[in-house]
Amino acid sequence: MKPDEPGSRPEWVMSRMKSYCALQERCISEVKEKLQEFRLQPRVESRIISRLIGEDFLNEERFVRAFAGGKFRMKQWGRLKIIRALARKGVPEILIELGLREIGDQEYISTLKKLISARNKDMKETSILIRNRKLANFAISRGFEPELVWDVLNFRD
Closest to 22 (Cα-Cα) out of 50, 48, 59, 76: 59
Residue 39 and residue 76 in one domain: no
* pTM for the full predicted model: 0.87
The reply to whether 2 falls in a domain is no
The reply to whether 34 falls in a domain is yes
Residue 53 and residue 65 in one domain: no
Residue 110 and residue 137 in one domain: yes
Structural domain of residue 80, as residue ranges? Answer: 61-100
Q: Rounded to an integer, what distance in angstroms lies between the CA atom of residue 109 and that of residue 130?
A: 22
Total tally of structural domains belonging to the chain? 3
Residue 54 and residue 26 in one domain: yes
Residue 22 and residue 45 in one domain: yes
Over its length of 157 residues, how does the chain's per-residue pLDDT go in tens digits? 344 444 468 899 999 999 999 999 999 999 999 999 999 999 999 999 999 999 999 999 999 999 999 999 999 999 999 999 999 999 999 999 999 999 999 999 999 999 999 999 999 989 999 999 999 999 999 999 999 999 999 876 4
DSSP 103-146: S-HHHHHHHHHHHHHHHHHH-----HHHHHHHHHHHHHHTT--H
The reply to whether 3 falls in a domain is no
Q: Can you give the pLDDT at residue 57?
A: 97
Residue 72 and residue 93 in one domain: yes
Q: Rounded to an integer, what distance in angstroms lies between the CA atom of residue 59 and that of residue 72?
A: 20
Q: Rounded to an integer, what distance in angstroms lies between the CA atom of residue 13 and that of residue 131?
A: 54
Residue 17 and residue 44 in one domain: yes
Helices vs. strands in the chain: H and E counts, helices first: 9, 0
